[in-house]
Amino acid sequence: MSVAYVFWAELPAVDASFDSLTQLLADVLEDDAAGFAADLRYQQQKQPVQAWLAFADNKPVACKLGYERKPGHYYSWLGGVLPEFRGQGLGAELMRRQHAWCAATGYHRIRTQTFNRWRAMLILNLRFGFDIIGTVQGGRGLTLVLEKNLKPAESGKTAAP
């Protein structure tokens, strides 16, 4: 299988590309495409939403979306991989690309949230250095809040001359 990776600095206008993204999210997250479309349009009006996508045969099969929470802090918002494409490293590659872009763009922290039922995403986040920093009780159940520091912690040690 040949996979092409694409980065969108902003979401496209409501068109076929936008529709394919909302359908991908609906399929991956088992929810309503119209609801995702409304959420994406709302968030895009507040500030640009970036998207990292994986395509197989010109069809989007995985995505990772995010936006600036506040200066220096990025929010990794939505994403996932179609069930038939899981286990091939697509989610990990999209996460690597998102985190590299964030570091190069000057962000120093990334926050994300997930539900316990999305165990593969929780495990991937933990493998990529996220820490669980809290929980939030919401309408869909308990949400796990995770955060990752993109800048290495200062050890206080100096290098030998």
Is 74 domain-assigned?
Answer: yes
Count the Cβ atoms, other than its own, within 10 Å of residue 116. 11
Is 151 domain-assigned?
Answer: no
**How many domains is the chain partitioned into structurally?**
1
Strand-pair partners of 145: 113, 134
Is 141 domain-assigned?
Answer: no
Count the Cβ atoms, other than its own, within 10 Å of residue 45. 8
Is 47 domain-assigned?
Answer: yes
Chain segment 126-155, per-residue pLDDT in tens: 999 999 999 999 888 899 999 999 986 654
Element (DSSP H or E) covering residue 134: strand 131-138
Per-residue pLDDT averaged across 101-122, rounded?
94
Is 117 domain-assigned?
Answer: no
- Under 8 Å between Cβ of 137 and 145: no
CATH number at residue 10: 3.40.630.30
Is 158 domain-assigned?
Answer: no
Is 88 domain-assigned?
Answer: yes
- Under 8 Å between Cβ of 62 and 82: yes
The pLDDT of residue 1: 76
Is 123 domain-assigned?
Answer: no
The pLDDT of residue 139: 82
Chain segment 2-59, per-residue pLDDT in tens: 999 999 999 998 789 999 999 999 999 989 999 999 999 999 999 999 999 999 999 9
User: Residue 24 belongs to what domain range?
Assistant: 3-110
